[in-house]
């Protein structure tokens, strides 16, 4: 027993034995088997679940003919505003569906300054049709970043 204490106190083989055990546990955890997918195959080799396939095809056809989401419309409006103004919007302030399509409000840095709190920002209102094409835009407001502004 005195020898065991002596070797551990001097940093001998006992310390390295502990290290080896820990690394063995880590390597066992890394080698966990991957889960297999739960797709059943028929004798012809096709996946089982034909009724689900029919529903999925119906959903994808419905999505193709569906109107674009607010997120897609906002992205399209931001891209088109960037092409026209040469300035990339930083934030989508608002998206609203109306009779003509969509109205998207985008915040743009018009003039960068040091410090950033003195940047000149502008809110642009972009009118987009149902397909995501821009019908028009205008600058609704201009303000200093640090001052905020009356939005509305």
Q: What domains sit in the chain, N to C, each tagged with a CATH number?
A: 70-147 (3.10.450)
Query: Which pTM value belongs to this model?
Result: 0.56
Rounded-to-integer distance, Cα 1 and Cα 151, Å: 79
Q: Look over the chain and give the mean of its residue pLDDT values, rounded to a whole number.
A: 74
- Burial of residue 99 (CB within 10 Å: 0-12, 13-18, 19+) is exposed
Rounded mean pLDDT, 116-124: 95
DSSP alpha helix (H) spans, the chain: 2-9, 13-30, 50-65, 70-85
Q: With cut-offs at 50, 70 and 90, classify the pLDDT of residue 97.
A: very high
Q: What is each CA distance from 23 to 15, 20, 28, 84, in whole angstroms?
A: 13, 5, 9, 59
Query: What are 58-80's pLDDT values in tens digits?
Result: 555 555 557 889 999 999 999 99
Query: What are 17-26's pLDDT values in tens digits?
Result: 444 444 444 4
Specify which of 9-23, 41-55, 90-104 reaches the highest per-range mean pLDDT.
Answer: 90-104
Rounded-to-integer distance, Cα 19 and Cα 14, Å: 9
Q: With cut-offs at 50, 70 and 90, classify the pLDDT of residue 51.
A: low
Rounded-to-integer distance, Cα 151 and Cα 98, Å: 19
């Amino acid at each position: 027993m005195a020898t065991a204490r002596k070797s551990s106190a001097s940093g001998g083989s006992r310390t390295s034995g502990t290290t080896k055990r820990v690394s063995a546990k880590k390597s066992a955890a890394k080698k966990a088997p991957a889960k297999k997918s739960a797709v059943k195959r028929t004798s012809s080799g096709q996946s089982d679940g034909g009724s689900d396939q029919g529903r999925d095809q119906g959903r994808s056809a419905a999505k193709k003919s569906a109107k674009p989401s607010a997120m897609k419309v906002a992205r399209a409006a931001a891209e088109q505003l960037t092409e026209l103004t040469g300035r990339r919007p930083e934030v989508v302030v608002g998206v609203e569906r109306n009779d003509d399509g969509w109205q998207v409000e985008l915040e743009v840095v018009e003039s960068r300054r040091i410090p950033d709190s003195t940047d000149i920002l502008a809110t642009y209102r972009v009118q987009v049709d149902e397909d995501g094409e821009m019908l028009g835009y205008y600058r609704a407001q201009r303000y200093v970043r640090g001052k905020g502004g009356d939005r509305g």
